[in-house]
């Protein structure tokens, strides 16, 4: 009988311990949670090391009869080094290098003036004849560029960004692509397309996406029809 009483006593104490353990843990959990420090990851400032742009490209001052098509999608890509004006400053200066590919769709072609003595003159942007059927017609210029920017970028996960800058570029390729009833053709290396281009740029937005724009301060053709290249679109800064 003593052995049985001891056994019952052991079971009773074990059951009581098993019940009291989770209750004590539950009672202590709010205090223990409150006592733990809150940890927040501190992120570095956005330096916008890589800038990618998807733009709609166009010309200003087009001749009468020349119609630009929408959309005329271009692509720009730049790599930057960013230098802040002080350790905690939101202001910075950045410079880099990259490439700009402008694509302008229109109903016109670049026509070279030719004289009886064999010499050539201006490069004229001329609309197609009425009735000419074509599927696609675009003029493409590709520049290697050095961009600079003065930036204001706030801190945080989704910083506000505004930048104004200047870009200088050197022409590496130009061509016109036409698709019509005769098939697809490309014409390369037109005379009088501006070799050195420079202009102003700007962008503004929040986080990884901004509105962007570029305005050339020199015409696309340095001898002939003086159209001004302009681009507007979206800029993406995926890397800090």
Q: Pick from 43, 46, 44: which is nearest to 161 by CA? A: 46
CATH class of 50-236: mainly beta
The H or E element containing residue 29 is helix 2-35
Percentage of the chain beyond pLDDT 90 is 70
Q: Name which residue leads in pLDDT, 30 or 236.
A: 236
Q: Are 108 and 97 in contact (CB under 8 A)?
A: no
Token couple for 188: 């390369």
Which residues are within 8 A (CB) of 177 and not within 5 positions of it... i.e. 6 or more apart?
136, 137, 138, 140, 184, 185, 186
Nearest to 239 by CA among 43, 42, 41, 47: 47
Query: Is residue 192 classed as helix, strand or coil in its secondary structure?
Result: coil
* pLDDT of the residue at 131: 87
Buried b (16+ CB within 10 A) or exposed e, 197-209: bebebbbebeebe
Taking the CA of residue 207 as centre, how many other CA atoms within 13 Å lie in the half-sphere pointing to its CB?
Answer: 4
Which of 1-15, 58-72, 110-124, 164-178 is predicted with the least confidence, judged by mean pLDDT? 1-15
Q: What is the pLDDT of residue 87?
A: 81
Identify the pLDDT of residue 113: 85
> What are 219's strand-pairing partners?
none
What pLDDT shows up at residue 5?
Answer: 47
pLDDT of residue 4: 45
- Kindly state the DSSP code that residue 193 receives in the 8-state scheme: B
Q: What confidence tens digit (pLDDT) does each residue in 123-151 have?
A: 999 999 988 999 999 999 999 999 999 99
Predicted structure pTM score: 0.80
């Amino acid at each position: 009988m003593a052995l049985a009483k001891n056994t019952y006593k052991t079971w009773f104490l074990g059951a009581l311990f098993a019940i009291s353990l989770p209750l004590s843990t539950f009672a202590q959990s709010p205090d223990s949670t409150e006592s733990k420090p809150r940890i927040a990851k501190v992120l570095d400032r956005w330096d916008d090391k890589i800038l990618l742009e998807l733009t709609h490209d166009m010309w200003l001052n087009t001749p009468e009869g020349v119609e630009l098509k929408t959309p005329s999608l271009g692509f720009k890509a730049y790599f930057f080094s960013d230098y802040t004006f002080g350790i905690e400053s939101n202001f910075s200066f950045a410079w880099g290098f990259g490439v700009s590919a402008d694509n302008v769709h229109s109903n016109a072609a670049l026509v070279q003036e030719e004289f009886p003595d064999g010499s050539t003159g201006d490069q004229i942007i001329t609309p197609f004849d009425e009735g000419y059927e074509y599927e696609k017609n675009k003029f493409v210029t590709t520049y290697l560029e050095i961009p600079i920017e003065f930036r204001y970028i706030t801190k945080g996960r989704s910083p506000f960004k505004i930048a104004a800058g200047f870009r200088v570029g050197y022409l590496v390729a130009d061509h016109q692509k036409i698709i019509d009833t005769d098939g697809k053709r490309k014409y390369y290396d037109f005379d009088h397309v501006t070799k050195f281009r420079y202009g102003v740029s700007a962008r503004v937005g929040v986080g990884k996406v901004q509105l962007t724009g570029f305005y050339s301060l020199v015409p696309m053709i340095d001898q002939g029809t003086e159209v001004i290249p302009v681009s507007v679109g979206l800029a993406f800064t995926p890397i800090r």
